[in-house]
């Protein structure tokens, strides 16, 4: 079997798995599919047809030069044409029609894949090389899979809570790890499916710092809340404080305080005690930042996060993942919706980075202290609306993926971004602090 055949077989298998996931999450009553569960999110039936429309745009039209199959629906599924809150008012395809449409696109996408030749896959056309356009569609579909899970969690409806087994946590061990001063290479290397915003790779020199070995847990975050952290403006940036007061936020989203003490949470419609050993999720950037100040620390910059995650100082090279370049296995990280929750702190010793940081990939997206801005020498590809239009001082960078992220849609250099008020995403954080001269 040639390398090209192997790559094409792998892409075909991944496309099938990704589609299976989208169909599973939308295998619910039509009424739930077409309803908007929150103004923050699209109706699920929009996401479903949108993944097929995106695949049509990038594989069938941009790569293969095909004519539009249904030009009249393009604008309905253009994320820039209609903000999420308007989408339920659009004449969207119904659930059955959406499934038929995306299946039709997929059939033609597999034909295009079949016709890809060595010269395409190993040539210089950036849409073809390494199967980039297929990787774009695949990662996009998985990103919407995660979005669909956030929508289902917001709906508060029971169902789709998965109880797959996760490894046990490991209490104890060092709270933080030291990352010595020195340069590292930030950004994507040769990965053909990396996004434009991960490029170009460039050297960044950092002073020594400490970073938490593990994400901040629910138990630690509850201590902040119980210590009056939500009531003390000292810990909050002014905008965050105004947001907290206006919204009446007193705990992570989905948490409630029982009258007799003790925290409970709603998880996919199920009420349960908050597990203290689990990484906290559903906190905004403002809450993460306030916790860090309360704890006498700060959020890591995204450069600090990436170095602690992927840099191998002995080899002098960046790894795809903390543990190396091997694709994520079940002992490395909690990815791909094995269970509808993060794994307890310390569950993945085999996933540790060269510096000893754990659970950087999977479990919860981690807020960083950085704005989403371009790397020096950035060039938009294949379109400005993927990253470039979001650059600036509106969005904060998140790193590392969550339990709901598929392994294909995350790596040490992967950058995600969102508004600092967002809490419906599966996001938590870890803290950092500069090392003193003696420590360094």
Task: Name the binding residues for gamma-L-glutamyl-L-cysteine.
Answer: 84-87, 418, 422
Please give the Cα distance from 281 to 359 (Å, whole number): 14
CB 281 within 8 A of CB 364: yes
Binding residues: 50, 84-87, 140, 144, 418, 422
Neighbours of 404 (CB within 10 A): 28
CB 188 within 8 A of CB 199: yes
Distance of CA 113 to the CA centre of its chain: 27
CB 252 within 8 A of CB 283: yes
Please give the Cα distance from 51 to 137 (Å, whole number): 8
Element (H, E) at 254: none
Binding residues for Fe cation: 50, 140, 144
- E strand residue ranges, 146-285: 176-179, 182-186, 202-206, 209-212, 255-257, 263-267, 270-273
Residue 31 burial by Cβ neighbours in a 10 Å radius (0-12, 13-18, 19+): exposed
Query: 3-state SS of 145-175?
Result: HHHHHHHHHHHCCCCCCCECCCCCCCCCCCC
Crossing angle of helices 3-25/44-55, nearest 10°? 160
CB 5 within 8 A of CB 123: no
Please give the Cα distance from 34 to 45 (Å, whole number): 6
Element (H, E) at 157: none
Please give the Cα distance from 405 to 251 (Å, whole number): 24
> Which of 277, 335, 305 has its CA nearest to residue 212?
305
Q: In degrees, to the nearest 5, what angle opens at C-alpha 85 toward C-alphas 84 and 86?
A: 90
Please give the Cα distance from 12 to 6 (Å, whole number): 10
Please give the Cα distance from 195 to 188 (Å, whole number): 8
């Amino acid at each position: 079997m040639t390398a090209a055949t192997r790559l094409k077989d792998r892409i075909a298998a991944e496309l099938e798995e990704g589609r299976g996931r989208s169909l599973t999450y939308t295998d619910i009553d039509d009424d739930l599919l077409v309803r908007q569960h929150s103004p923050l999110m699209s109706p699920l039936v929009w996401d479903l047809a949108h993944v097929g429309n995106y695949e049509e745009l990038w594989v069938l039209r941009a790569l293969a030069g095909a004519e539009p199959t249904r030009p009249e629906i393009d604008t309905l599924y253009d994320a820039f044409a209609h903000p999420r809150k308007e989408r339920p008012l659009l004449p969207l395809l119904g659930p059955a029609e959406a499934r038929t449409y995306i299946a039709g696109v997929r059939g033609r996408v597999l034909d295009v894949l079949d016709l890809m030749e060595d010269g395409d896959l190993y040539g210089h056309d950036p849409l073809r090389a390494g199967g980039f356009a297929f990787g774009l569609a695949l990662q996009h579909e998985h990103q919407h899979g995660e979005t669909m899970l956030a929508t289902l969690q917001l709906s508060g409806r029971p169902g789709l809570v998965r109880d797959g087994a996760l490894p046990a946590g490991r209490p104890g061990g060092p709270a933080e790890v030291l990352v010595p001063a020195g340069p590292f290479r930030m950004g994507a290397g040769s990965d053909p499916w990396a996004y434009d915003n991960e490029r170009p790779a460039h050297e960044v020199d950092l002073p020594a710092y400490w970073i938490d070995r593990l994400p901040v847990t629910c138990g630690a975050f509850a201590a902040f809340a119980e210590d009056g952290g939500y009531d003390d403006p000292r810990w909050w940036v002014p905008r965050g404080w105004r947001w907290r007061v206006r919204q009446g936020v007193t705990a992570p989203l989905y948490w409630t305080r029982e009258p007799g003490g003790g925290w409970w949470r709603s998880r996919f419609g199920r009420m349960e005690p908050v597990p203290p050993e689990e990484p906290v999720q559903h906190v905004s950037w403002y809450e993460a930042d306030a916790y860090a100040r309360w704890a006498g620390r700060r959020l890591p910059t995204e450069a600090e996060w990436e170095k602690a995650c992927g840099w191998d100082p002995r080899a002098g090279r960046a790894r795809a993942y903390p543990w190396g370049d091997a694709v994520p296995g079940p002992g490395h990280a909690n990815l791909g919706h094995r269970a509808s929750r993060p794994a307890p702190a310390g569950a993945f010793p085999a996933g540790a980075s060269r510096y000893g940081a754990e659970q950087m990939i999977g479990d919860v997206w981690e807020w960083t202290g950085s704005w989403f801005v371009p790397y020096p020498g950035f060039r938009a590809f294949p379109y400005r609306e993927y990253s470039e239009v979001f650059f600036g001082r509106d969005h904060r960078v998140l790193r590392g993926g969550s339990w709901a992220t598929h392994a294909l849609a995350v790596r040490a250099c992967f950058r995600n971004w969102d508004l600092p008020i967002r809490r419906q995403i599966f996001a938590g954080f870890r803290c950092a602090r500069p090392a003193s001269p003696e420590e360094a």
